[in-house]
């Protein structure tokens, strides 16, 4: 048995795949301690009873930081401009985490996230090895590169990030083509309100971890893990795509009941995550585009920070265009509450997914063979969109190359290409082929077995 401490970043897009990995390890008889803050732990889905004896949760209250809203413990609780303060608060968990390690049985491993540059030094004091688990697109990790590669091929100006780095010259499509996208990545190399530039967190984590684990596999990213092993000078270990289970809903909520009434493959599911930097103009153009496309849609409209409060409809507070919900009621549903995304993607009425291309959402779409309409914003999302375009399973909404803006006509055109035009049939066929490859559970489980073997060996 291996004892593992698992410590994700304070974002549900990170905590959920960390939990999925924890469950896979616990199912093999290993003991897992999952560390997070009280409110986040309370919001995680329940662990299957047969795993509860091997998967325990360790709660660490988040220190207060000036400027961070009361009760904010995850990126879902704060607007984008406050996320750096959340990192500062998480840095305050260093002392409690050190006390936790000193006060209990020494684990065999700590598996941590991208921003935990202070975990490996603490672990070294207790002679515990660390592994980083990267839940982003593997190509994004290669694009960032280690400290030595950035010293050899320095980047500073925004334009430097609009092309593939020198160590990836053979993969010239791995780049941030739009200025707005490149500017976001360039910001990772600059000072921020947390006191530590993001790239310093990442480099520190790379340098002090013995293994780097990825939520991916050779079938999705062929050749990438050999490149990453050479680049980071330590094993790149794919854990498989960790597809979440589809849990049967005993009580069909409003969303699923509505889908039950729609024809097969007739609905495009729209969800842009909880962290996309959406403006009111973005939302209005997206809404008008869906209206112009004249197809059935289900829109999981997450709360954009500061735009509207939870509960009620979006339209009555001006977030969506006046009368939009009334005009589209016969063929569309807007939901501002919780939506069971995996169940929606699995539903027979869902024919495509309009997504921000977060890696977690993209992986979930793989499980059900859905073609994509893609509207990326930040982090690895633009790189994911390019990769899915190359695989022939998605169409990106046309954007302005300078500021990343888009209009209703571009949204409508992309939606119709996927949902109405013959091109959509080709995209759907390609998506189903990828689904068939990734549906081989024996192959995916073998990645976890290989990971366990690495944990034993290193």
Say which residue, 260 or 277, is predicted with more confidence: 260
Average pLDDT of every residue of the chain? 92
Residues paired with 6 in a beta bridge: 34, 111
Q: Where are the beta strands (DSSP E) in 260-342?
A: 267-271, 296-300, 332-335
For domain 254-438, give the fold. Rossmann fold (3.40.50)
CA 227 – CA 223 distance, rounded (Å): 7
Determine the angle formed by the axes of helices 359-366 and 12-27, rounding to 10 degrees: 50
For 371, the token pair is: 């073609």
CA 196 – CA 47 distance, rounded (Å): 34
Task: pLDDT band for 139, please (50, 70, 90 cuts).
Answer: very high
CA angle at residue 79 from 75 to 80, to 5 degrees?
80
| 30-34, 175-179, 244-248, range with greatest mean pLDDT | 30-34
The yes-or-no verdict on residue 308 having pLDDT over 80 is: no
Residues paired with 296 in a beta bridge: 267
CA 26 – CA 389 distance, rounded (Å): 36
pLDDT tens, 324-353? 999 999 999 999 888 899 999 999 999 999
pLDDT tens, 384-424? 999 999 999 999 999 998 889 999 999 999 999 999 999 99
* Beta carbons of 107 and 127 less than 8 angstroms apart: no
Q: By CB neighbour count within 10 A (0-12 exposed, 13-18 middle, 19+ buried), where does 417 fall?
A: middle
Note the pTM of the prediction, 2 decimals.
0.92
* Beta carbons of 389 and 414 less than 8 angstroms apart: no
Please check whether the two domains, 3-245+440-457 and 254-438, share a CATH topology: yes
Which pLDDT score is estimated for 251?
Answer: 58
* Beta carbons of 367 and 345 less than 8 angstroms apart: yes
Cα atoms in the Cβ-side hemisphere of radius 13 Å centred on 124: 10
- How many whole angstroms from its chain centre is CA 180? 20
CA 233 – CA 231 distance, rounded (Å): 6
Cα atoms in the Cβ-side hemisphere of radius 13 Å centred on 393: 26
The yes-or-no verdict on residue 375 having pLDDT over 60 is: yes
Domain range 3-245+440-457, its CATH number among 3.40.50.1970, 3.60.9.10, 3.20.20.140, 3.40.50.2000: 3.40.50.2000
For 236, the token pair is: 């790149």
CA 440 – CA 23 distance, rounded (Å): 19
- Using DSSP's 3-state secondary structure scheme, residue 252 falls into coil
Look at 78-82, 157-161, 321-325 and tell me which has the smallest mean pLDDT: 78-82
In the chain, where are the structural domains located? 3-245+440-457, 254-438
Please name which of 417, 289, 308, 433 lies closest in space to residue 370, comparing C-alpha atoms.
Answer: 433
Q: By CB neighbour count within 10 A (0-12 exposed, 13-18 middle, 19+ buried), where does 422 fall?
A: exposed
DSSP codes, 47-76: PPGGGTTTEEEEE-PPPP-TTSPTT--SGG
pLDDT tens, 44-71? 999 999 999 999 999 999 999 999 999 9
Residue 162: DSSP 8-state: G
Residues paired with 132 in a beta bridge: 112, 212
- Kindly state the average pLDDT of the residues 183-187: 92
pLDDT tens, 102-123? 988 899 999 999 999 999 999 9
Determine the angle formed by the axes of helices 381-390 and 359-366, rounding to 10 degrees: 30
Which pLDDT score is estimated for 276?
Answer: 76
pLDDT tens, 29-48? 999 999 999 999 999 999 99
Length of the chain: 458
CA 140 – CA 273 distance, rounded (Å): 19
* Beta carbons of 343 and 246 less than 8 angstroms apart: yes
């Amino acid at each position: 048995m291996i004892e593992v401490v698992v410590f994700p970043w304070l974002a549900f897009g990170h905590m959920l795949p960390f939990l999925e990995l924890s469950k896979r390890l616990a199912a093999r008889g290993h003991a897992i301690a999952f560390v997070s803050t009280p409110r986040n732990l309370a919001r995680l889905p329940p662990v299957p009873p047969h795993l509860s004896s091997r998967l325990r949760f360790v709660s660490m209250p988040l220190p207060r930081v000036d400027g961070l809203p009361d009760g904010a413990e995850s990126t879902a609780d704060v607007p984008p401009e406050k996320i750096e303060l959340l990192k500062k608060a998480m840095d305050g968990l260093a002392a409690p985490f050190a006390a936790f390690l000193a006060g209990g049985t020494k684990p065999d491993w700590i598996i941590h996230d991208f921003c935990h540059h202070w975990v490996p030094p603490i672990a070294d004091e207790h002679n515990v090895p660390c592994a980083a688990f990267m839940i982003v697109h593997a190509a994004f990790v290669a694009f960032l590169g280690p400290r030595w590669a950035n010293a050899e091929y320095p980047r500073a100006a925004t334009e430097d990030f609009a092309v593939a780095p020198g160590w990836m010259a053979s993969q010239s499509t791995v780049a941030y083509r739009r200025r707005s996208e490149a500017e976001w990545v360039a910001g990772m190399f600059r000072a921020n309100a947390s006191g530590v530039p993001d790239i310093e967190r990442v480099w520190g984590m790379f340098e002090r971890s013995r293994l780097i684990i990825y939520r991916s596999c050779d079938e999705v990213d062929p050749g990438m893990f050999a490149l990453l092993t050479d680049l980071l000078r330590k094993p790149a270990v794919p854990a498989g795509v960790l597809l979440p289970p589809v849990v049967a809903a005993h009580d069909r909520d409003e969303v699923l009941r509505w889908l039950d009434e729609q024809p097969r493959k007739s609905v495009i599911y729209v969800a842009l995550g909880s962290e996309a930097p959406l403006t009111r103009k973005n939302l209005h153009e997206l809404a008008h585009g869906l209206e112009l496309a004249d197809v059935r849609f289900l829109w999981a409209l997450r709360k954009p920070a500061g735009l509207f409060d939870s509960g009620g409809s979006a339209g009555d507070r001006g977030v969506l265009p006046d009368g939009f919900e009334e005009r589209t009621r016969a063929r569309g549903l807007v939901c501002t509450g919780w939506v069971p995304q995996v169940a929606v993607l699995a539903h027979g009425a869902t024919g495509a997914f309009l997504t921000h291309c977060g890696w977690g959402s993209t992986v979930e779409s793989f499980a059900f063979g859905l073609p994509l309409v893609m509207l990326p914003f930040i982090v690895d999302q633009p790189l994911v969109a390019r990769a899915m375009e190359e695989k022939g399973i998605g169409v990106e909404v046309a954007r302005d190359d300078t500021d990343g803006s888009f209009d209703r006509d571009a949204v409508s055109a992309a939606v119709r290409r996927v949902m109405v035009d013959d091109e959509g049939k080709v995209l759907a066929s390609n998506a189903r082929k990828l689904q068939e490859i990734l549906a081989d559970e024996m192959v995916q489980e073998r990645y976890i077995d290989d990971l366990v073997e690495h944990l034993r060996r290193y």
